[in-house]
Amino acid sequence: MSRLIDVGLEQLAQTIVRMGELAHKAVAVSLHGYIEGASTLQEVRDLSGTLEVIANEAEDRIFELIARYQPVATDLRILKSYLKIAYDFARHGRYALDVSQIYERLDGAQECEKWINESITQMSDKVLSMVRTSLDSLKSHNTELAKTLAETEKQVDQMYFKYLDKLTEKGPATNRCTVSSVLVVRYLERIADHATYTGESVVYIATGEKVVLR
């Protein structure tokens, strides 16, 4: 027999998944614009704003469920995890907005040397796959899929530091491209971290095990 809290948990789960889809879209749109040379500021600003609104609504709903039903054990674990995941997805939107703003101020990767454009494209693809993996693992509570984020996150870190090293050795003197690309790869590295945090939360929801995937 279903409990009264189950309806609230299911509605909350749907809200968090919706946030994940919006977060993935925000990151994808902003990165495509930066790499291909297109303004995405307004669209990404709208997506980021929507994510912030939903995150606040989810937080209110979580505390309402806690106050009303005083959950313990598994239910409380789920609510705590959803709160963290909502924050992670909102951060995706914030970093996506940062990327779009960088394009507006400093141009995008299409203005950079070929190897810089290719490096950012490869890192972007990897990070986008992490966001999608974190969302897919959340939908199914697939702990094994969530744990794969650990290895991908290491790869993103390696790409990040390799890019900085190469830029120091081969990059042009400080210019708009240098500044914008360094900022963007940093945002990508942070998005990857938050995708991994989501994976950790998925494992906690499904098993109660607190793991560190970074």
Q: What pLDDT score does 134 carry?
A: 98
Asked whether 75 and 69 are in contact (CB, 8 A), the reply is yes
The CATH code for residues 4-207 is 1.20.58.220
Taking the model in full, what pTM does it have? Answer: 0.94
Q: What pLDDT score does 66 carry?
A: 95
Q: What pLDDT score does 126 carry?
A: 97
Helix runs in the chain, H state only? 4-36, 41-69, 73-106, 114-140, 143-147, 149-170, 176-207
Q: What are the residues whose beta carbons fall under 8 Å from the beta carbon of 6, sequence distance 6 or more?
A: none
Asked whether 6 and 48 are in contact (CB, 8 A), the reply is no
Q: What pLDDT score does 3 carry?
A: 86
Q: What pLDDT score does 173 carry?
A: 57
Q: What pLDDT score does 110 carry?
A: 86
Per domain, the residue ranges of the chain are 4-207
Q: What pLDDT score does 174 carry?
A: 57
- With a cut of 50, which residues of the chain have pLDDT below it? none
